[in-house]
Structure 1
């Protein structure tokens, strides 16, 4: 009587373990597919809201539009290509596509970092020169800076694309990553060029912005009344807090991945503290492409107004025109 029962239990345990092995790839694939859909929907909405509200607006909107385009490319070209490999647990699209995915990841990441730097400079000028801000920061100048940012990032990150190193498919993270170990000098130089000026600029500009806000709240007297009034209006702009939260969210999202990669690069050992560590830290960073939309909705009254106009446009063109006239925007 005992022997058949033991045989039945062992068969049940085997089927349960096999079912767990099958469920895990399905769960990962479903999570990646959901992430891709969320990124695409969030950033298509952001882009549509900015494009639909054709009016004067703020210069910072050009930078936010650039961020949304970079995030949309991640949702279209990076995340979907990891869904099927998550199911079969291997890369099936060939070395060329793997190399392109790795190149896009680095390029779009560099574009995002540089864009945050330009946003911090824009917010700094709004506080540092409130009376001359409109003449110093124009949309044409902003668009030129963003075009230069995209071109320079694409060119700086292209050597791995030309075949100087081999891309690798991370079986844990389920994504193609460029192997930077064979190009240590280039990797360090690229990191210094991207992170060096960006981090220094962001820290300095936001330190100055928040120090000026503190002075205004403390009631510290200023010599020029006109400048004090303009400065008070500039500091009251919610874009300062919104942009700073965007930078903080980006750093928090990507910090675990950067620390894991730094640990592995310095020690030569693969970090395996918890199961699927690489999967969690990499896709947590990519999830930042969704958080940006939530931050904009929460902290930007102007963006919420743009969403309302977009909704009116989709539902009723006449009501959208009336709404734009009320806020002084041109619908033509």
Structure 2
């Protein structure tokens, strides 16, 4: 899974940066999200391998703190970036004429930076005496002790759950607008150019974002719900179940690579263009070596 996450997100970033038509506001959010997933694969997940095999934390306390900090920061950042992406797609669908005035490059950069900053500040609080990083043998990694300190755990839910519910709400609204506008386009003989109706093709990128959001929610909620149930009911969760939910959450960092390729035509075309370019460069290098 680590290998798939690293290679898949490197490929995504290269495709998004290589193609001019993908270097826009939405592409910026996608690159930021891919960077968060890539960082998790490079700096967070490798610390899980040996503990998962040996059943204990084999590294130092400092490594536990680093692993807990980086993993929590990147997971919360991914959730917040998905919320930003949902807001961008909602504005694009609901107010296409005003989209470029609302979602400017500076505003996009501010949203991305604030997502990283909020996640990093919350995850760093144990370094300043509030909360702690603890080894969770069921998850085979160090995490924030959100289920041992009720105030600390409440802060975590206050940061992560509202964006999840908000982006689900926004994507449902996007779906409703899409259906309404599709019916309008189908039955109207002519739509004025000044109308706020969006082109039918604009729904496809929004659909991609909706699938990404749905996948994130499906990957994240089982772990949160199961641990919340365990905390309030005093029932101990089976280790294998917790590890399976953890693995499901981790896998979300790879699924975005598949979703972009399967649902976004523009990304597929850009990926093909990038692969052909890389192939040409490699063939030229082989030819030079043969000479």
Q: TM-score category by the smaller chain?
A: 0.7 to 0.9
- Which whole-Å CA distance do the structure 2 matches of 1:62 and 1:42 have between them? 17
Residue 117 of structure 2 corresponds to residue 151 of structure 1: yes
> Which residue does 1:184 correspond to in 2?
150
Once the two structures are TM-superposed, the CA of residue 189 in structure 1 deviates from its matched residue by 2.6
Q: 2:55 aligns with which of 71, 86, 89?
A: 89
Point out the more displaced range, 49-58 or 237-246: 49-58
Residue 225 of structure 2 corresponds to residue 269 of structure 1: no
* TM-score w.r.t. length of structure 1: 0.77
Residue 169 of structure 2 corresponds to residue 204 of structure 1: yes
Once the two structures are TM-superposed, the CA of residue 202 in structure 1 deviates from its matched residue by 1.6
Once the two structures are TM-superposed, the CA of residue 297 in structure 1 deviates from its matched residue by 0.5
Instruction: Tell me the SS of whatever aligns to 2:56.
Output: coil
> Which residue does 1:295 correspond to in 2?
259
- Which whole-Å CA distance do the structure 2 matches of 1:56 and 1:248 have between them? 22
- Which whole-Å CA distance do the structure 2 matches of 1:122 and 1:305 have between them? 22
- Which whole-Å CA distance do the structure 1 matches of 2:255 and 2:21 have between them? 26
Q: Report if the CA contact (8 A) 1:170-1:176 is conserved.
A: yes
Point out the more displaced range, 125-134 or 164-173: 164-173
Instruction: Tell me the SS of whatever aligns to 1:143.
Output: helix
Deviations 1:202-229 (A, max 9, x none): 233223222221212323769971244x
> Which residue does 2:64 correspond to in 1?
98
Instruction: Tell me the SS of whatever aligns to 1:164.
Output: coil
- Which whole-Å CA distance do the structure 2 matches of 1:162 and 1:296 have between them? 39
Q: How many residues align?
A: 281
> Which residue does 2:289 correspond to in 1?
none
> Which residue does 1:305 correspond to in 2?
269
After TM superposition, list the pairs within 5 Å mapping 1:33-48 onto structure 2: 35-48=1-14
Point out the more displaced range, 242-251 or 170-179: 170-179
- Which whole-Å CA distance do the structure 1 matches of 2:50 and 2:111 have between them? 37
Residue 235 of structure 2 corresponds to residue 248 of structure 1: no
Residue 179 of structure 2 corresponds to residue 218 of structure 1: no
Instruction: Tell me the SS of whatever aligns to 1:226.
Output: coil
Once the two structures are TM-superposed, the CA of residue 78 in structure 1 deviates from its matched residue by 1.5
Instruction: Tell me the SS of whatever aligns to 2:260.
Output: helix
- Which whole-Å CA distance do the structure 1 matches of 2:200 and 2:116 have between them? 29
Instruction: Tell me the SS of whatever aligns to 2:197.
Output: helix
- Which whole-Å CA distance do the structure 1 matches of 2:219 and 2:127 have between them? 26
**Mind listing any 5+ residue stretches in structure 1 that lack a counterpart?**
1-34, 320-332
Q: Report if the CA contact (8 A) 1:213-1:235 is conserved.
A: no
**CA root-mean-square deviation:** 2.5
> Which residue does 2:46 correspond to in 1?
80
Higher Rg of the two aligned structures: 1
**Mind listing any 5+ residue stretches in structure 2 that lack a counterpart?**
284-291
Deviations 1:162-198 (A, max 9, x none): 34344332223211122224431132133113322x1
Instruction: Tell me the SS of whatever aligns to 1:316.
Output: helix
